[in-house]
Amino acid sequence: MQMGTVENKAQDAVEPDWMREFFDSCQPAAQAADWQACERAETLSRLRSTVAEQACRAQKEHDDWQSRVYKRNTHQVEFHGDGPCRNGGMSVGAINESRRHNAMDALTKERIELDKLSRAMSTDTGAERTLVMLEGLLELARVNFKKGLGDWAGSADVLFESYLLEDLKFRGPGGKGNVTSNAMSRAMLAAMKAPEGPELSEADEEAPAPGM
């Protein structure tokens, strides 16, 4: 066998440096893109599950309030203050009924909005649009909280909840007052944030890999 032939085959088998550098540079970008796509798909899955779970929860709570029957109680509770109800009063029974109807109204509103979200997220396009909207609210809350525009909320997370409920036009009992947080907004916030893995103990962190 001629020496020149062996050398030529060895050179052909060696991958050119420029090709190795090209593929090495592409791998991290491709891996990052795959990871982001996977993370986004997981967030969409969490959001869809959350919307379904919250709709079920709201309906159960509504049915519970609707089924409550209070004993007739005519004892009067007097209201004192400077508001429109000053020197007024209501019976305990009327207060209980008012509380029941307010809870039912709020839960009905929740269910309506959750049904809208469910329909919007029934398609891939609608789900992506909903996620983009929620991401925008979350980023706005973070930016505004850093600027000191939401100090009353105590955190950017609570500010996000407030923005979400404001967009959905949630109001307090009788349509008065703002609602800054409820079960639905807390669940949506949790769905938007990637779940944290279990914390490792020092022993776990220092444990040698198998076979070492």
For the segment 193-206, the average pLDDT, to the nearest whole number, is 51
Task: State the Cα–Cα distance between residues 116 and 126, nearest whole angstrom.
Answer: 11
Task: Check pLDDT > 60 for residue 76.
Answer: yes
**Domain presence at residue 149:** yes
Predicted confidence at residue 195, as pLDDT, reads 61
How far is the C-alpha of 130 from the C-alpha of 76, rounded, in Å? 48
169: phi then psi, degrees, rounded to nearest 5: 60, 45
Banded model confidence at residue 96, pLDDT cuts 50, 70, 90: confident
- Whether the per-residue pLDDT at 68 is higher than 60: the answer is yes
Percent of the chain with pLDDT over 90: 42
Cα dihedral value 170, 132, 195, 161, nearest 10? -20
In a 3-state reduction of DSSP, which class is residue 177?
A: coil
Question: Is 113 among the domain residues?
Answer: yes
- Name the pairing type of β-strands 76-78 and 89-91: antiparallel
Assess if residue 8 is contained within a domain: no
- What domain range includes position 33? 28-194
pLDDT recorded at residue 204:
44
Beta-carbon contacts of residue 121 (< 8 Å; ≥ 6 apart): 44, 47, 48, 51, 127, 130
Instruction: Let me know if residue 64 belongs to a domain.
Output: yes
Looking up tokens 């929860």 gives 57
Point out the least confidently predicted range of 22-31, 36-45, 84-93, 129-138. Answer: 22-31
Q: What is the pTM of this model?
A: 0.68
Stretch 1-14: mean pLDDT: 51
Q: What's the mean pLDDT when you consider all of the chain?
A: 77
Residue 137 CA: distances (Å) to CA of 169, 185, 187: 15, 12, 15
- Count of domains in the chain? 1
Tell me: the pLDDT tens digits for 108-138? Answer: 999 999 999 999 999 999 999 999 999 999 9
